């Protein structure tokens, strides 16, 4: 094996004194810090661009679900969409939208009446206009009082008359859930506990959960054996919602991490596929007139941390025209 001769005292390797070595390391460190700062600036710029993203008319026209487009909330870097394009997610296909956030790992299916491919079993003979199925596991326990669903807006325009807000809209909200909270007109929101507002829920052992595209059938006995009828059958959704509308019945309770939960959210008051209109029976109102170009949300959020379990935006082409006015 060839030997390696030691460097002589006069070689360049031994000619650097401590100060020169320090200056050289300091220069490298400074260069590395500059590179890291530049990378951070670029990442922030990219995140800002994503958070400001909104579809164009061409984006919506190109979607299979036109004039509706479902997209991931662009301002949530912690929400990872694991299947499909986050700016054009499947509607009425039964194909699950796989996602992951720090609080939840799961999938969602979105169904909208009046759009191509709307399946008859989901809507036929029913009043519902949309149905969203969300299925997965919590990554940490979340208190029932903290897990909410609903709508949040930064601002609205051309507020409806007082008689409509107080006499109709609030009545509709309370009908959805007596525990529904309504925010101020300056930054309105309508939020309700998922346990009290979710249309139907199922708790399953991992590997035994229903298909996310299957029709809903309430059953929470694995999570809470008391949610049963006298004959042992699952407590119906209406009774579960009434039970958890009382704050005392939610207090101290959490959604655990060891079960798979399937949440079914459906509603009949917003005709998304038929023009993005609010249907309150005797009257229909165009939402684009009031929302200042903001989309409706499909979401669940943990109020204590402020983080979403998931959040999708439900766009319609009329919102782009409303934002342009």
* Residue at 214 is within a domain: yes
pLDDT grade for 160, boundaries at 50, 70 and 90: low
Question: Tokens 């299916």 map to which residue?
Answer: 109
Mean pLDDT for the chain? 83
192-201: average pLDDT: 96
- Token duo for residue 154: 């930064």
The answer to which of 33-42, 122-131, 150-159 has the lowest mean pLDDT is 33-42
* Residue at 31 is within a domain: no
238 has a pLDDT exceeding 90? yes
Better-predicted residue by pLDDT, 254 or 30: 254
pLDDT grade for 7, boundaries at 50, 70 and 90: very low
Q: Quick one: which of 195, 180, 197 has its CA closest to 227?
A: 195
* Residue at 192 is within a domain: yes
* Residue at 230 is within a domain: yes
DSSP, res 14 = G
* Residue at 32 is within a domain: no
Element (H, E) at 240: helix 237-244
User: Are 301 and 149 within 8 A, CB to CB?
Assistant: yes
User: Are 103 and 309 within 8 A, CB to CB?
Assistant: yes
Give the C-alpha separation, 116 to 92, whole Å.
7
* Rounded CA Rg of the chain: 26
164-169: long-range pairs with CB below 8 Å, 24+: 164/285, 168/280, 168/283, 169/278, 169/280
* Residue at 173 is within a domain: yes
Distance of CA 264 to CAs 46, 157, 232, 235, 288, Å? 34, 31, 22, 16, 26
Q: Identify the domain containing residue 96 by its residue range.
A: 49-324
DSSP, res 169 = I
Give the C-alpha separation, 145 to 197, whole Å.
12
% residues pLDDT > 90 (the chain): 61
* Residue at 20 is within a domain: no
* Residue at 176 is within a domain: yes
How many domains are there within the chain? 1
């Amino acid at each position: 094996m060839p030997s390696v001769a030691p460097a002589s005292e006069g070689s360049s390797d031994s000619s650097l004194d401590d100060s020169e070595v320090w200056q050289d390391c300091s220069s490298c460190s400074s260069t590395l810090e500059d590179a890291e700062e530049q990378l951070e600036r670029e990442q922030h710029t990219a995140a800002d661009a994503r958070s400001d993203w909104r579809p164009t008319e061409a984006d919506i026209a190109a979607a299979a679900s036109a004039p509706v487009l479902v997209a991931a909330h662009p301002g949530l870097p912690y929400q990872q969409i694991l299947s499909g394009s986050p700016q054009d997610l499947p509607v009425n296909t039964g194909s699950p939208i796989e996602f992951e956030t720090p609080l939840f790992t799961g999938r969602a299916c979105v169904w909208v009446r009046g759009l191509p491919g709307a399946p008859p079993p989901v809507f036929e003979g029913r009043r519902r206009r949309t149905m969203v199925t969300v299925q997965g596991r919590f990554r940490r326990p979340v208190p029932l009082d903290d897990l909410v669903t609903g709508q949040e807006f930064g601002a609205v325009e051309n507020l409806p008359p007082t008689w409509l807000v107080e006499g109709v809209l609030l009545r509709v909200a309370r009908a959805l859930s007596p525990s529904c909270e309504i925010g101020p007109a300056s930054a309105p929101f309508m939020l309700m506990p998922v346990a009290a507002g979710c249309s139907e829920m199922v708790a399953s052992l991992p590997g035994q959960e229903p298909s996310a595209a299957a029709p809903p059938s309430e059953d929470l006995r694995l999570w809470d054996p008391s949610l049963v009828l006298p004959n042992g059958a699952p407590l119906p959704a209406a009774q579960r919602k009434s039970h958890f509308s009382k704050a005392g019945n939610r207090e101290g309770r959490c959604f655990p991490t060891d079960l798979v939960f399937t949440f079914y959210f459906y509603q009949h008051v917003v005709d998304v596929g038929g023009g993005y209109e609010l249907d309150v029976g005797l009257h229909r109102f165009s939402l684009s007139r009031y929302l200042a170009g903001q989309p409706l949300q499909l979401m669940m959020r943990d109020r204590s941390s402020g983080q979403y379990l998931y959040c999708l935006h439900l766009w319609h082409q009329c919102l782009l025209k409303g934002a342009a006015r």
